[in-house]
Amino acid sequence: MSQGVRAVLGFPARAPEQVQALILDGPPPLDSAADPEVPLDQYAALVRTGGIEAFRHEWARHPLMQLRTRNPEARALLAAMLARYAGDDLTHPASRAEPAARLRLESLTVPTLVLSGEYDLAGRKRAARRLTARLSHAELAEIPGAGHLPNLDSPDAYSKLCRQFLTHHYSSDTF
């Protein structure tokens, strides 16, 4: 999900025989290591000067972290995720994933589902369309009523899409 898409896309390039399918949710723009919607350098500076709690407070206000649902359980899960986030990618920038432009995405041949929330940021929706176009066996699905975190905003719709995708591409004895 999100920035994790960069890391996930690196795995099939190194071990294609171990990947049978991909589900990529809310991908960032992949044409460079920087994401114009997430000021990583600014956040890294905030962690250095104000600590991780100052960053968490700021990140919680970012548009990518805004839930559309009013479900208190989903909101509690998001709060717990934020509280657990250690910020290692901010304090150790060398650990950031390489640009996917160098990953030869066109060579990936596994079935891939690219997900986007209906109300995700425009850049993320654009990135999802571009990624889908670059992958030879990809399909794009949009989750109605969801933002950047569709698994929290619309967990039933999210699970249904993922289940349908996996069921369509694999028999039940694969799992």
What CATH number is associated with residue 22?
Answer: 3.40.50.1820
Q: Which amino acid is at 11?
A: F
Calculate ∠ Cα 8-14-16, nearest 5°. 85
- The answer to whether 110 and 19 have CB atoms below 8 angstroms apart is yes
Continuous segment of H or E residues that includes residue 141: strand 138-143
pLDDT value for 16: 81
- The answer to whether 47 and 90 have CB atoms below 8 angstroms apart is yes
pLDDT value for 71: 97
Q: Which two tokens stand for residue 128?
A: 């999802």
Confidence (pTM): 0.89
Q: How many residues does the chain have?
A: 175
- How many domains does the chain fold into? 1
Report CA Rg, the chain: 17
pLDDT value for 102: 61
Q: How far apart are CA 65 and CA 56, in angstroms?
A: 11
76-98 pLDDT per residue, tens: 999 999 999 999 888 886 655 55
User: Which regions of the chain are under pLDDT 70?
Assistant: 93-103, 171-175
Structural domain containing residue 101: 4-174
